[in-house]
Amino acid sequence: MTKSLSSFQNQNIPKINQRIDDLLDQTVFDNELKSMMAYSIHAGGKRLRPLLLLAIIETVQNILTKDDFTVAAALEAIHTYSLIHDDLPAMDNDDLRRGNPTSHKKYGEAHAILTGDALLTVAFQWLSSLDGDSDKTVKLVTELSAAAGPSGMVIGQVWDIEGVTKQYSMDKLQQLHENKTGRLLKFTAQAANVLTNVSKQLADELVGFTTNFGLAYQIFDDIADVTETTAQLGKTAHKDLAQNKNTYPNLEGLQQAKLDLDNVIKHMNENLQRMSEIDSTLDLGLLRGFIQYLQLDGEK
């Protein structure tokens, strides 16, 4: 029987949440700031990035360590900071996130900026507390800062914001997403490759799989913004269109966007096929679950 993503989620989301809380307790002494950080990091997120990281590690080594959960928590802290800052009035100006008031709506703008800064900084504090050897820790700091920083997520967000006043080419749109959304998702494979003793060949396929997942996820998200309601999304629907954002449906039409999504999913299946050729004992059930996540039927 192959592994199922839904039971893996049920088993590990509470452990991810517990690791986040333990780390917050260890590194944030002020209760008010801790509760502002906890409010956003526990605001009902799907834990997509931590779960993808842990699913890859489980797939290649069948066991999850405390260090794996620490890296998962750091990754979620970085993701949460980016949402808090993206939602600010000067950026996307969003009042709702996962059905709840955004950080600045609840605590005010100054506190939201600082809560984001706190989560970004503490992610590196958490990484630096790993039990494993220092060479691996340094590699993880390098990869996470590169993925999140000025040549990763931040430049993607800069381009996203500037895109409100100009129309991008499809190439530029893809570069935007490779940085804004793709780099943190790709980090899951890069981090898993540092944390485990996976072969170079398998490591490359995992990076390919997560890179494709990042692209597919963004197209999927853009399509959902057009086709789903605010209640289904847990955030304001149709905002991309209203803000004249550069999205796949806006630039190439909904029909072509769906074809593009199918095509990237095909590449992900090819990644999995090659992984099973490299090591036929691998149970790829969890990673197949991430492909199923991208089904456009509202039943995920």
Q: Rule CB under 8 A: which residues touch a copy of itself?
A: 27-30, 32-34, 37, 81, 85, 88, 90-91, 108-111, 113-114, 116-118, 120-122, 124-125, 127-129, 133-135, 137-138, 141-142, 144-146, 148-151, 154-155, 157-158, 161
Beta carbon of residue 112, minimum distance to a copy of itself (angstroms, whole number): 8
Beta carbon of residue 72, minimum distance to a copy of itself (angstroms, whole number): 18
Beta carbon of residue 167, minimum distance to a copy of itself (angstroms, whole number): 18
91 vs 278, beta carbon nearer a copy of itself: 91
Question: Distance from first CA to last CA of the chain, Å, rounded?
Answer: 21
115 vs 250, beta carbon nearer a copy of itself: 115
Beta carbon of residue 272, minimum distance to a copy of itself (angstroms, whole number): 31
Cα–Cα dist 212/208, whole Å: 6
Residue 95 token pair:
């009042």
CB 234 within 8 A of CB 44: yes
CB 77 within 8 A of CB 123: yes
Where does the chain have alpha helices with state H? 5-27, 31-41, 48-61, 66-86, 103-107, 109-127, 134-148, 153-162, 170-177, 183-195, 200-227, 230-233, 239-242, 248-252, 254-278, 285-292
CB 123 within 8 A of CB 84: no
Beta carbon of residue 181, minimum distance to a copy of itself (angstroms, whole number): 16
84 vs 257, beta carbon nearer a copy of itself: 84
151 vs 295, beta carbon nearer a copy of itself: 151
162 vs 277, beta carbon nearer a copy of itself: 162
